[in-house]
Amino acid sequence: MLREFKQTENEINAEARSTRERIESLKQDIDVERERLVDKDSAGRERLRITIQDLESEVADQEVEIGNLQEQQKSLEDRSLALGDTERQRKVEVDKARRQVERVKTGLQELTQQTSDQMSAFGRGVKEALLAIRKTQWSGMEPIGPIGKHIKLRDPKWSLIIETTLDKALNSFLVESHADRIKLDKIFRQCGCQSRIIVCKTELFDYSEGEPDQEYMTILRALNIDNEIVKRQLINLNRIEQIILVEQRSLGDKIMVSNRGGFPRNVTACLSADGYNVGARGGGLATQAINLVRPSSRLGEDISQAIAREKQLLVEQNQKLADAQKACAEVKREIETLAAEHKRSGLAER
């Protein structure tokens, strides 16, 4: 990519070598003239002194030129290295933006497919497994699932962060005994369903004492769960009553040190809608970016709304890609301009 810079650098080096050779030649001429001074009369010696002075002056000029060439080469190297680093960074940004566009396109395709079969959001074979479950006799309660079928978002702004947090739990099924787990596993294998099976207790325990203050939005408070057993299992397995939600990371940073430098009461973690885990009991106050899952209808969100949101996101991501490509092209033009300037400068000096 930086061929032009290398060519110009070679030209500068060649000119520097030529100048150094000229200096050595002049110094040799000076030495010869000094030897001739010994055998000359007064007038001859004066002429030789003038010749030597002229040669020494030319040597000085050539040494100044060498210094200028070295400075020019150093400037070229510094600017070309800086532009090279910038160009590589711009390419990384273009690749990242392109991947984001493809990711949104894939998510949009999956959402479109779910308009005709909403159960497909929970994975392969779930629709067939549900039909088989209804035809089977169970020793305990009929299996409940997929869990996400019993959940609806109260506000779509929490959609991605909650779906990412619960993810595989949303595809899970609940059974009351190990015997029923074995029976359900057989159905899953027949249907090609890979959902997790959880053996659970059906006790409806009181969880209110473990919740944080009402001022905080938790995952539990952001959801409408129509099955109390599902709710208790998500509390047991995912601590949804103690994970708080904020719209932006900056607010989470403040909240998680608000209790005398520590977490608020009954708060185990803080997640932001813009994709950050702002501290957790097990990991201290470290803030980490979260790899958000592709959106689906697993949280009961209206498919048309989800599709509309993804289409808007695709427009935004395409604009980011265009901006990144434009920035990359600008750096490339700057590299070409700089190379041309150095080439013209080298030709002018010669």
CA distance 160 to 293: 7
Residue 138 near residue 202 (C-beta atoms within 8 A): no
CA distance 79 to 287: 36
Q: Flag whether pLDDT at 4 surpasses 60.
A: no
Please count the CA atoms within 13 angstroms of the CA of 1 that sit on its side-chain side: 16
State the helix-helix crossing angle for 3-37 and 303-349, rounded to 10 degrees. Answer: 20
| Rounded average pLDDT over 319-329 | 86
What is residue 301's three-state secondary structure? coil
Residue type, 207: Y
Q: Flag whether pLDDT at 283 surpasses 50.
A: no
| Rounded average pLDDT over 24-43 | 63
Q: Flag whether pLDDT at 139 surpasses 70.
A: yes
Residue 294 near residue 166 (C-beta atoms within 8 A): no
According to the model, what pLDDT value does residue 119 have? 80
The radius of gyration of the chain's CA atoms, rounded to the nearest angstrom, is 37
Residue 196 near residue 123 (C-beta atoms within 8 A): no
Q: Flag whether pLDDT at 273 surpasses 70.
A: yes
Instruction: Give 110-119's long-range contacts (Cβ < 8 A, gap of 24+).
Output: 110/294, 110/296, 111/295, 111/296, 111/297, 111/303, 111/306, 111/307, 111/310, 112/307, 114/296, 114/297, 114/303, 115/303, 115/304, 115/307, 118/297, 118/303, 119/146
| Rounded average pLDDT over 38-55 | 61
Q: Flag whether pLDDT at 12 surpasses 60.
A: no
How is residue 175 written in tokens? 């059974």
CA distance 327 to 198: 51
| Rounded average pLDDT over 286-314 | 77
According to the model, what pLDDT value does residue 257 have? 83
Has this prediction a pTM greater than 0.75? no
Instruction: Give 117-120's long-range contacts (Cβ < 8 A, gap of 24+).
Output: 118/297, 118/303, 119/146
Q: Flag whether pLDDT at 162 surpasses 90.
A: yes
CA distance 48 to 31: 11
Residue 196 near residue 171 (C-beta atoms within 8 A): yes
pLDDT digits (tens, 9 = 90+) for 170-207: 999 999 999 999 999 999 999 999 999 999 999 899 99
According to the model, what pLDDT value does residue 52 have? 59
CA distance 154 to 221: 8
| Rounded average pLDDT over 102-106 | 79
The pLDDT confidence band at residue 348, using thresholds 50, 70 and 90, is: very low
Q: CA distances (Å), 117 to each of 122, 134, 247, 264, in order?
A: 10, 19, 31, 42
According to the model, what pLDDT value does residue 8 have? 55
**CA nearest neighbour of 145 among 190, 187, 207, 111:** 187
The pLDDT confidence band at residue 334, using thresholds 50, 70 and 90, is: confident
Residue type, 173: F
Q: Which one has a higher pLDDT value, 150 or 341?
A: 150
Task: Name the percent of the chain lying above pLDDT 70.
Answer: 74
The pLDDT confidence band at residue 135, using thresholds 50, 70 and 90, is: very high
pLDDT digits (tens, 9 = 90+) for 140-154: 999 999 999 999 999
Instruction: Name the residue with tokens 């959801």.
Output: 223
Q: Which one has a higher pLDDT value, 31 or 294?
A: 294
